[in-house]
Structure 1
Amino acid sequence: MIIVDHLTRKYGSFAAVDDVSFVAQPGRVTGFLGPNGAGKTTTMRVMVGLTPATSGSVTIGGHAYRDIPNPGRHVGVLLDASAQHAGRTGREVLTIGARTMGLPDSRIDEMLELVSLTGPESKRRLRNYSLGMRQRLGIAHALLGDPSVLILDEPANGLDPAGIRWMRGLLKGYADRGGTVLLSSHLLHEVEQIADEMILIGRGRVVAQGDKKSLLQGQAASTLVTSTDNTRLAEVLRAQGIAVTPAGEGLRAECAALDVGRAAAEHGLVLTDLRTGSAGLEDLFLELTASTQREGHPQAATQQGASA
């Protein structure tokens, strides 16, 4: 279990992480979601002792990371897949890790096979690895000590669609066996498919948390509809005070499906598609963090580096 308790990290007067609190539970994948510069990486660096907290605390299994003996056997960490020495081979990276943790060399081959790095690939220098290969190696290193907790920062970066699907299955299986997974990303759609719990952060502060169902409760109902005359249908709905916007080949109407069907029937309009289209996680997140998005807030660009 990871417990983050009123964590704050300041750089001068700027709070990269501002009074953040949440819990990542065993047996669950917790998604830590936010735009670039939201404070995700800074929070994770504090978790593993790379950046000191200004105030607040983080415990993993009841202990501060620095107090965990042989931490790689308890906490697997991937913060930057490109941080390893570029002149080493993939096998050398895992060999150093295994020997540091007191693991047998057989564990190296197990991890290479797990992440689908072949024998020849494992003997190549990291400078010749693609980003996707570095991510796979980083995941192998994080899992090397068979830890009970995983802390992964943007692990899907550089992975192709097959690699992302593989990673989802790997992490879901890990959590199903009782492991704790904290997964940060700005790829909301990908995390939405795997996370049991989601922490939404913007400009260093938690703006919402919970499972998908609880996060989306209370969102305004909307309907996706397509008709043989979308222009006329939009006119009819707007005349009744219903907000309508284009959506794919049809329209999104901010009302219940019943209201759309009734309006279409009254005016003899034929519908070819009618379904609930409530706002998804991405819509909710963009709404909650509107002032922190780079496009919507000039300061976000200047604060990007300090609060990644």
Structure 2
Amino acid sequence: MIKVDRLTRTYGGFTAVDDVSFTCQPGRVTGFLGPNGAGKTTTMRVMVGLTPPTRGTVTIGGLAYHEIPNPGRHVGVLLDAGAQHAGRTGREILTLGAKTMGLPASRVDEMLALVSLTDAEAKRRMRNYSLGMKQRLGIAHALLGDPSVLILDEPANGLDPAGIRWMRDLLKGYANRGGTVLLSSHLLNEVELVADEMILIGRGKIVAQGDKKSLLAQSGPAASLVTSLDNEALVRALQAKGYAATPAGEGLRVSAAPVEVGRAALEAGVVLTDLRNGARGLEDLFLELTAGTQREGHPDAATQLTDQPTPSQPQQGAQA
């Protein structure tokens, strides 16, 4: 279990992490989400002893990271897949890790097979690895000691669609076996698929946290998108039950859950050709809760752009 208690980290007058508290439970994947600069990586660096906290504590299994004997056997960490000696081969990197942790050499072969790095790739030097290969090697190193806790920062970065699915299955299987997973990622749809709990952070503060169902319930009331062979008849049936229905493309947007729309259509004898959940998802909730920290769409950014002269317009006072 990971426990973060009132964690604060400042750099001079800048507060990167501000009084943050949360817990990651065994058997669950916790998604740690936030825009660039929100404090995710700083929090994770404090967890594994790379950055000292200004105030507050972080414990893993009841101990601070530096108190854990042979920590690689208990905590698997991937914060930067490229943070290895560029001149060493993938096999050498894992072999050094295995020796440091007191593991048999056979564990290296097991991990290479697990992350699908071939013998030829394992003999290639790190500087010649693609980003996806570096990620796979980093994951192999994190899992080398068969830890009970995984702390991963953007582990799917650089993976192709097949690799992302593999990563998703790997993490779900790890949690199902009782492991604790803290996963930071910008791939919101992937986090929504794999995470049991989610923590949203912006400007160093927690803006929302909870299980996936309760968080997504905050994104708005139930809604559906539906198309039928007789939309007018469907509107009458829905309005008779007190549901609002408005045009949306070739179909309707309805203020009711899909099951209620389907029930109303069945009772009215209307054939549906499409029916889906129209409630907002994790991406909408994320953007709403972190709106003040987003670069894109931020009012200040728009002001900066409109205040700048275009290339064809000389600045005021400039020579023509």
Find the counterpart in structure 1 of residue 274 from structure 2: 273
Q: CA deviation at 1:13?
A: 2.2
Give the letter aligned to residue 292 of structure 2: S
Q: What aligned pairs does 1:5-84 form with structure 2 within 5 A after superposition? A: 5-84=5-84
Distance 1:256 1:119 in 2: 52
Change (3 A) 1:149 1:259: closer
Q: CA deviation at 1:246?
A: 5.1
Distance 2:273 2:141 in 1: 52
SS at match of 2:3: strand
Distance 1:15 1:251 in 2: 47
The answer to whether the 8 Å contact 2:245/2:252 transfers is: no
Distance 2:135 2:22 in 1: 26
TM-score with structure 2 setting the length? 0.82
Give the letter aligned to residue 41 of structure 2: T
The answer to whether the 8 Å contact 2:224/2:261 transfers is: no
Q: CA deviation at 1:204?
A: 1.3
Distance 1:57 1:191 in 2: 26
Deviation by residue 1:34-61 (Cα, 9 ceiling, x = unmatched): 2222211111001001111111110000
Find the counterpart in structure 2 of residue 135 from structure 1: 135
Give the letter aligned to residue 292 of structure 1: T
Matched, 1:223 2:215: no
**Identity of counterpart residues, as a percentage?**
79
Give the letter aligned to residue 61 of structure 1: G
Deviation by residue 1:68-94 (Cα, 9 ceiling, x = unmatched): 111111100000001111111000110
Q: CA deviation at 1:296?
A: 3.3
Matched, 1:190 2:190: yes
Aligned residue-pair number? 295
SS at match of 1:209: strand
Find the counterpart in structure 2 of residue 294 from structure 1: 295
Give the letter aligned to residue 226 of structure 2: V
SS at match of 2:18: strand
Find the counterpart in structure 2 of residue 266 from structure 1: none
Give the letter aligned to residue 222 of structure 1: A
Give the letter aligned to residue 77 of structure 1: V
SS at match of 1:193: helix
Change (3 A) 1:261 1:52: same
Deviation by residue 1:171-226 (Cα, 9 ceiling, x = unmatched): 11111111111111111100111111111112211111111111122522222133
Q: CA deviation at 1:270?
A: 9.2
Distance 1:10 1:297 in 2: 24
Q: CA deviation at 1:290?
A: 1.4
Find the counterpart in structure 1 of residue 284 from structure 2: 283
Give the letter aligned to residue 278 of structure 1: A
Uncovered stretches (5+) of structure 1, i.e. residues with no partner? 263-268, 301-308
Give the letter aligned to residue 70 of structure 1: N
Give the letter aligned to residue 122 of structure 1: A
Change (3 A) 1:33 1:243: farther
Q: CA deviation at 1:273?
A: 3.4
Q: CA deviation at 1:12?
A: 2.1
Distance 2:101 2:300 in 1: 43
Find the counterpart in structure 1 of residue 114 from structure 2: 114
Distance 2:7 2:217 in 1: 27
**CA RMSD of the aligned region, Å?**
3.2
Which structure has more RCO (C-alpha within 8 Å, separation ≥ 6)? 1
Q: CA deviation at 1:254?
A: 5.2
Distance 2:256 2:115 in 1: 46
Q: CA deviation at 1:252?
A: 4.0
Distance 1:43 1:245 in 2: 45
Q: CA deviation at 1:228?
A: 7.2
Distance 2:127 2:255 in 1: 51
Distance 1:287 1:298 in 2: 14
Uncovered stretches (5+) of structure 2, i.e. residues with no partner? 239-243, 265-269, 302-320
Change (3 A) 1:246 1:203: farther
Find the counterpart in structure 2 of residue 265 from structure 1: none
TM-score with structure 1 setting the length? 0.85
Give the letter aligned to residue 55 of structure 1: R
Give the letter aligned to residue 119 of structure 2: G
Q: CA deviation at 1:259?
A: 8.8
Give the letter aligned to residue 83 of structure 2: A
